Structure 1
Amino acid sequence: GLWLRVCYPPPPHNALSSPVAEPYARLLAVPHHFTLGLEQLQRGVVSQGDRTRLRNFVRKLAHGEPVNVGFLGASITVGQGSTYPRERGYAPLVYKYLHNVSDAIGYNNAGVGAVTNGYFAMCMSNHLKPDNDLIVVDMCVNDMIQLYDASHSAHESILRQLLAQPRRPAVVEAMFPRLFAYYRGRPLYSSSHADQIGVLAQYYNLPWVATRSAVWPDFLKNATGYALDDLVIQDHTHPTDRGHAIMADLLIHLLRQEARALGTSEPWTEFDDRLLARETTEPMLEATPREGTPGICRVGEAARQLALPANSTGFEWVDEGKPGNPKWGWVGRKAGDELLLQFSTLVESAASLADMAKMHFMYLRSYDQMGIANVSCVQGCTCPHLKIDALKNIHASETMVVSLPISQSPSCVLSVQILERPKDPSLTKFKVVGIGISL
């Protein structure tokens, strides 16, 4: 339903209500109608982390310097669940507030529907510009992240790539909840990947906001405005207009906290400059590349051009997305359909051609009609044989990434052939999204 959003009242605490110096007072004066009350806002900012980069962004924004803000995530960042994604999604709501503070701001919504951390670890540069001052990361509900495994390492790789951007951006983790029992044996509170991502947020000392932290006491009471249907749509994952507004509130509150500090008792000093120049710490996980370098990502039109249509049978180049959120890929629909892809596996940074590269095979895993496929190197290169089952046992669709060693070659031919599913021959759809190559 529709909920009246009221202005956030001035905090009663004397220290917080002291006069804020210009230009930081502008961030507090720009109107924003908060859905959440002060107590909820304070709960929802789980950690301010190392505040230096966020302070730097707020400082530049307040002084009218040119700044860029990026949003990296899956369908929630695209705006799914809201009635008007380009206006009522959390990302455009935050951007609207920032633009009202200063019109010298660029906006890059790098949301891509139905992708996982492995996808962005390889293909982030295809979507997110490299010149951001603030980046909000929403990758909490997709994927099957287990502590310290490959999917966990993929998220760490994303963070390292973002932190290494030349403008030393503030990176903020924005954690949405799943409000259904995704993992057997876990409490509902832990159905998202906030716990796993939270370990990395703590390791890199990142600012971290979470919807579940802000609303959980009210959600448990089924309080007005905080019932299940108030927060998420029917899939119990994508936020409603109100759910998007709650996340926007938390992010804006986080920024206003820093504006208040900079304009009162914690002005920017040379000490902040020294902190800003620090290098990022070493990776937490052994599997994470130090630089998080992604290599080459071939998706979209680049993936279309890899196919050898004269030698392939049954597969078609199809967009299964919605307006504003395309989902292109090669789709086969019956057993025996075969797609041949030809591409280079050479990696410039390799010390020798004898060094094995890594192939990152991207495919759709979904709950509807999905089948099994054999993936094998058939000409010009060698790689382990893969048998992939693309059927997912819950109502969700995601672009999965499976990585395997592959020999370096200027011309490698990969075969993807759909198999018959023994217990249900009708499930034979398979979709190839793209190919990545790294060292």
Structure 2
Amino acid sequence: MLLRTLIMLRVLDGIWVLWLDNLTCTLAWGTPSSNGLSSIELPIPMYNFNEARQGDHRCFRSDVLRDIVVDAGGWEYIVEGQPGNPKPGFISSKPGQIITMKVNTRPVINQNSNPTAMMHVSLGYLQSYEHMGRAALSCENCQCEPTDGSGSEIWKGGAGGWVIDAHIELRESTLGMWFMRVSQHAECLIRLETLEDSSSGENKFKITNVMVSELPEEDVDGFYHNSEKEKSYVGVTDDTR
């Protein structure tokens, strides 16, 4: 009975990681649905810069993640998991391996924005209680800094960078998200180097996705009602602002 329970927990754990990985990209930018709902035309948005758009990818996962890797540096694209429950990503299991990814951090909407305004980038990675190590993140052509307190230790080796620790004490495997503010550049290079030191005694690190915001943070903070557009919504009045 105990063995059956443990097996079930591992299965559910894997489903949870896959669901989170899909959810991050789906909620952020949307993906085509199999039920045809994605083809339904959306109403005019109430807020500026919130129109539905096609084209420029801003969420890189699965095969699309491979498109932004310009130098794998020993990292391998591996699809872990089971049939029907794939868990793709770039994996390194040795210290000193450097992967370089190139993304466009310029805004794709409201391109008249302040060119010095910071953009937001997030990195999805596997967290687990076993096998996982640490990696140092650094940027070239663009400046980057973490926006949350987790893992914001400064790496003193090499060219310097921010340390991301993928080893957790809680006995589960889940999706970790590293959020950072990044300056605008058409070819922002994001590098991750696996480190020797590890609290787990091993050095595995897995990248599952990268997401780039579509407009600068100051424009996000400045979202406002467009008085002409809001008239097309029944029941929308000045009192709802």
TM-score (norm 2): 0.62
For 1:5-404, list aligned pairs within 5 A. 113-115=16-18, 120-124=23-27, 125-126=30-31, 128=33, 132=37, 166=42, 296-309=58-71, 312-350=72-110, 351-377=113-139, 379-384=140-145, 385-404=161-180
Q: Is the 8 A contact 2:98 2:194 kept in 1?
A: yes
Counterpart position of 2:206: 431
Give the distance between the partners of 1:118 and 1:434, measured in 2 at CA. Answer: 8
Residue 399 of structure 1: how far off its partner (Å): 1.9
Tell me, what secondary structure is at the counterpart of 2:81? coil
Q: Secondary structure at the match of 1:320?
A: strand
Identity within the alignment, %: 23
Change (3 A) 1:343 1:120: same
Code of the aligned partner of 2:130: D
Supply the AA of the counterpart residue of 1:322. Q
The aligned residue for residue 185 of structure 2 is 409
Pair 1:420 & 2:196 matched? yes
Superimposed CA distance per residue, residues 224-249 of structure 1 (whole angstroms, 9 cap, x where no aligned partner): xxxxxxxxxxxxxxxxxxxxxxxxxx
Partner letter of residue 430 of structure 1? F
Contact 2:15 2:85 in 1 (8 A): yes
Matched position secondary structure for 1:360: strand
Q: Quick one: distance in 1 between partners of 2:86 and 2:20?
A: 19
> Residues of 2 paired with 1:166 and 1:366: CA distance?
39
Number of residues of Structure 1 aligned to a counterpart in Structure 2: 180
- Letter matched to residue 134 of structure 2: I
Instruction: Name the aligned partner's letter for residue 371 of structure 1.
Output: G
TM-score (norm 1): 0.36
Q: Within 2, Cα distance between the matches of 1:306 and 1:353?
A: 23
Tell me if the contact between 2:18 and 2:86 (Cα under 8 Å) persists in the aligned partners. Answer: no
CA shift in 2, pair 1:401/1:422, >3 Å: closer
Give the SS at the match of 2:86.
coil
The amino acid of 2:66's aligned partner reads R
- In the alignment, structure 1 segments of 5+ residues that lack a partner are 2-75, 82-110, 134-164, 168-278, 283-289
> Taking structure 1 as reference, are residues 349 and 303 closer, same or farther at Cα in structure 2, changes over 3 Å only?
same
- State how far apart, in whole Å, the 1-side matches of 2:89 and 2:208 are: 5
Q: Which has the larger Rg? A: 1
Offset at 1:421? 2.0
Question: Larger helix proportion, structure 1 or 2?
Answer: 1
Alpha-carbon offset, residue 423 of structure 1:
5.1
Contact 1:115 1:400 in 2 (8 A): no
SS at match of 1:120: helix
